[in-house]
């Protein structure tokens, strides 16, 4: 076969070779780093993430995380982290709270590069972690500037 | 008289009476009020983005506006009170007799600086000029756009109207095609707004900053792959004049937030 | 020299729950964007926000490039005693800005 065809076949062949171990998705790694490996619970409405399902512009997406908690010394939220699954870096922000906050409700605006899952994880004073995830659709802006 | 003649006469009488009554009613009933289909781009946004504009504690534009307030106090307050700025933005662009052409609000601010303060004009789209323009325009928030009935503006406004309907760029699209004919439709996942100038200067999420109407119109032109007019060109003022007339009566929303 | 806005009630009852909204002017350059020659623009972001009620740290946040430009945060704090509440932003390239609000607690 001609040299160009041989190169093409070799190229395709290299794509078929898989790494020996599958890579852990970046999001899972980031969450594990936040929790120190402690498993994260879902459901039970321990954490409420609020974000628009279809955003106007991925540059600034308002987000609010509410964690019902008495916020006493004995029972409060220590940290709330927000992650974006397919952003170049999954971590978005980590809030540090304590009883002096009175209410575990935090807000910010994120950048989302593409449609993806946004995840909020809360760390409680008893050492447990709970999460809430939502899917968000991001479309390209029309009439961008050059 | 024969019965049929009587009946005919009665019918004729009834017809005439009805016709007269209808004509009378039509003459004396006011015509149905024309429906105002105009709609601010605010309403085309999601509730979360609308909240960014509606709530001053969420609107990022205040980062610039508060500077504008300070600059006004230092520079402009010698001649102008803040209260007197109410309504000013509703009347711009306005004709400048010395220049012999219309100027935008930003243009007027710079003319004031050159002529009366004897100081430098601020660069177009600079944070300082935008902050001042936004502060002044915000004093008209809630007031209806009231283009001046100045005959000197007419040829400029007409030029603006022509530009609005003119096809531009490689995509060969005119403003009217998207913002008149297809307003309410969708382009790349976004709702096409009617394109009113009532919220400028505004914080555009795409810019991640505050910008003027000229900057947005410029984006539109590059969006259709057209060479935009030069900075400060008369064409922008002409277009602004037409847009303000098209939005006459709509409330100023400055400082707005848009995607 | 930075710019910032902090929204917080200036007067409160002791124990009242107050919402704080804080924003600062900052481009939050992600480090992902390329310049016109295809070279990456260096990351330049606000890294940390801290709020102190007097001398006590009552809120902190670690920011990553995915926080939108002109970063905004909101949180709650319980009014304790009259104090100067400060919000401090710190970031790359020595960025530092602080806003102070005097709160009277009755």
The answer to whether A100 and A145 are in contact (CB under 8 A) is no
Give the number of residues written for chain C: 106
Average pLDDT over residues A50-65: 94
Q: Which of A50, A64, A142, A146 to mutate to test the interface with B (most CBs of B within 10 A)?
A: A142
Question: Looking at residue C79, what is its pLDDT?
Answer: 97
Contact B223 A143 (CB under 8 A): yes
In this predicted model, what pLDDT tens digit does every residue of B2-61 receive, in sequence order? 787 777 666 677 666 665 656 565 566 677 777 889 999 999 999 999 999 999 999 999
**DSSP assignment string, B134-155:** HHHHHTTTTSBP-----GGGHH
Residue A68 has pLDDT above 70, yes or no: yes
Question: Looking at residue B27, what is its pLDDT?
Answer: 62
Burial C45-73 (b: 16+ CB within 10 A, else e): bbeebbbbbeeeebbbbebbbbbbbbbbb
**What's chain A's average pLDDT?**
86
Contact C70 B62 (CB under 8 A): no
Looking at B55-168, list the stretches that DSSP marks H as alpha helix, in order from N- to C-terminal side. 62-71, 105-115, 127-138, 154-165
Nearest CA in chain C to A88: C32
Cα–Cα dist B194/B157, whole Å: 18
**What's chain C's average pLDDT?**
95
Query: Please, what is the angle between helix B234-246 and helix B154-165, to 10°?
Result: 90
Residues of A in contact with C72 (CB under 8 A): 107-109
Neighbours of chain A (3+ CB pairs under 8 A): B, C
In this predicted model, what pLDDT tens digit does every residue of C25-70 receive, in sequence order? 999 999 988 888 889 999 999 999 999 999 999 999 999 999 999 9
Question: Looking at residue A21, what is its pLDDT?
Answer: 40
Cα–Cα dist A70/A45, whole Å: 15
Residue A9 has pLDDT above 60, yes or no: no
Helix and strand totals (H; E) in chain B? 9, 7
List of residues 6+ apart from A108 with CB closer than 8 A: A62, A63, A82, A92, A93, C61, C67, C68, C71, C72, C73, C74
In this predicted model, what pLDDT tens digit does every residue of B238-249 receive, in sequence order? 999 999 999 999
Residues of A in contact with C77 (CB under 8 A): 100-102
Cα–Cα dist B225/B167, whole Å: 11
Question: Looking at residue C72, what is its pLDDT?
Answer: 98
pTM: 0.87
Cα–Cα dist A116/B147, whole Å: 46
- Could you tell me whether strands A116-124 and A129-136 are parallel, antiparallel, or unpaired per DSSP bridges? antiparallel
Question: Looking at residue A113, what is its pLDDT?
Answer: 86
In this predicted model, what pLDDT tens digit does every residue of A30-53 receive, in sequence order? 999 999 999 999 977 899 999 999
Window B:54-83, CB contacts with A under 8 Å? 58
Residue B153 has pLDDT above 90, yes or no: yes
Query: Measuring CA to CA, which residue among C73, C72, C74, C69 is closest to residue C44?
Result: C69
Question: Looking at residue A74, what is its pLDDT?
Answer: 97
Question: Looking at residue A15, what is its pLDDT?
Answer: 43
In this predicted model, what pLDDT tens digit does every residue of B12-27 receive, in sequence order? 776 666 656 565 655 6
Query: Is residue B201 helix, strand or coil?
Result: coil
Q: Which of A57, A58, A101, A146 to mutate to test the interface with C (most CBs of C within 10 A)?
A: A101
Backbone angles phi, psi at C65, to 5 degrees: -60, -20
Cα–Cα dist B127/B120, whole Å: 15
In this predicted model, what pLDDT tens digit does every residue of A73-106 receive, in sequence order? 999 999 999 999 998 899 999 999 999 999 999 9
Contact C68 B208 (CB under 8 A): yes
Confidence grade of residue A64 (pLDDT, cut at 50, 70, 90): very high
Assign a CATH topology to domain C4-105. Immunoglobulin-like (2.60.40)
Average pLDDT over residues C76-85: 97
Of the options 3.40.190.150, 2.40.170.20, 1.10.760.10, 1.10.3370.10, the CATH number for the domain spanning B46-258: 1.10.760.10
Assign a CATH topology to domain A24-136. Immunoglobulin-like (2.60.40)
CA–centroid distance for B164 within its chain = 13
In this predicted model, what pLDDT tens digit does every residue of B89-147 receive, in sequence order? 999 999 999 999 999 999 999 999 999 999 999 999 999 999 999 999 999 999 999 99
What's the DSSP call for residue B177? I
Confidence grade of residue A14 (pLDDT, cut at 50, 70, 90): very low
- Could you tell me whether strands C11-12 and C46-53 are parallel, antiparallel, or unpaired per DSSP bridges? unpaired
% residues pLDDT > 90 (chain A): 71
Name the minimum distance, in Å, from the CA of C69 to any CA of chain B: 6
Q: Where are the domains of chain C?
A: 4-105
């Amino acid at each position: 076969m001609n040299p160009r065809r041989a190169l093409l076949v070799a190229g395709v062949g290299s794509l078929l070779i898989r790494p020996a171990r599958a890579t852990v998705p970046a999001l899972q790694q980031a969450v594990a780093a936040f929790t120190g490996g402690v498993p994260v619970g879902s459901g039970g409405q321990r954490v409420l993430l609020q974000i628009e399902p279809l955003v106007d512009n991925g540059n600034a997406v308002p987000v609010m995380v509410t964690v019902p908690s008495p916020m006493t010394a004995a029972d409060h939220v220590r940290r709330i982290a927000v992650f974006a699954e397919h952003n170049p870096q999954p971590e978005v922000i980590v809030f540090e709270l304590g009883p002096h906050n009175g209410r575990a409700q935090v807000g910010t605006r994120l950048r989302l590069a593409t449609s993806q899952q946004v995840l909020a994880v809360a760390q409680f004073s008893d050492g447990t972690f709970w999460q809430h995830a939502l899917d968000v659709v991001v479309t390209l802006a029309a009439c961008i500037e050059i | 008289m024969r019965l049929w003649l009587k009946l005919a006469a009665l019918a004729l009488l009834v017809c005439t009476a009805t016709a007269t009554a209808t004509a009378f009613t039509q003459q004396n009933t006011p015509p149905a009020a024309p429906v105002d289909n105009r709609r601010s781009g605010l309403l085309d946004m999601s509730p979360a983005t609308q909240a960014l504009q509606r709530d001053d504690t969420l609107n990022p534009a205040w980062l610039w506006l508060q500077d504008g307030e300070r600059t006004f106090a230092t520079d402009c307050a010698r001649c102008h009170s803040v209260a007197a700025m109410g309504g000013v933005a509703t009347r711009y662009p306005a004709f400048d007799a010395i220049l012999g052409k219309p100027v935008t609000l930003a243009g007027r601010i710079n003319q004031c600086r050159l002529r009366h303060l004897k100081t430098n004009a601020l660069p177009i789209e600079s944070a300082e000029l935008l902050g001042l323009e936004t502060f002044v325009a915000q004093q008209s928030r809630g007031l209806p756009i009231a283009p001046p009935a100045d005959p000197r503006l007419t040829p400029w406004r007409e030029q603006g109207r022509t530009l609005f309907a003119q096809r531009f760029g490689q995509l060969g699209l005119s403003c009217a095609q998207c913002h008149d004919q297809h307003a309410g439709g969708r382009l790349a996942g976004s709702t096409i707004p009617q394109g009113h100038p009532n919220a400028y200067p505004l914080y555009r999420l795409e810019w991640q900053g505050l910008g003027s109407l000229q900057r947005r119109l410029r984006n539109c032109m590059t969006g259709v792959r057209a060479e935009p007019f030069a900075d400060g060109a008369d064409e922008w003022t002409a277009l602004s004049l037409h847009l303000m007339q098209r939005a006459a009566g709509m409330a100023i929303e400055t400082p707005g937030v848009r995607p | 020299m930075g710019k910032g806005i902090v929204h917080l009630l200036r007067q409160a009852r002791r124990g009242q729950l107050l919402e704080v909204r804080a924003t600062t002017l900052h481009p939050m350059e992600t480090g992902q964007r390329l310049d016109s020659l295809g070279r990456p623009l260096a990351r330049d972001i606000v890294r940390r926000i801290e709020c102190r009620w007097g001398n006590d740290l009552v809120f902190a946040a670690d920011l990553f490039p995915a926080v939108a430009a002109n970063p905004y945060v909101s949180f709650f704090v319980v009014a304790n005693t009259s104090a100067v509440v400060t919000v401090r932003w710190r970031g790359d390239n020595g960025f530092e800005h602080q806003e102070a609000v005097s709160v009277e607690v009755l």
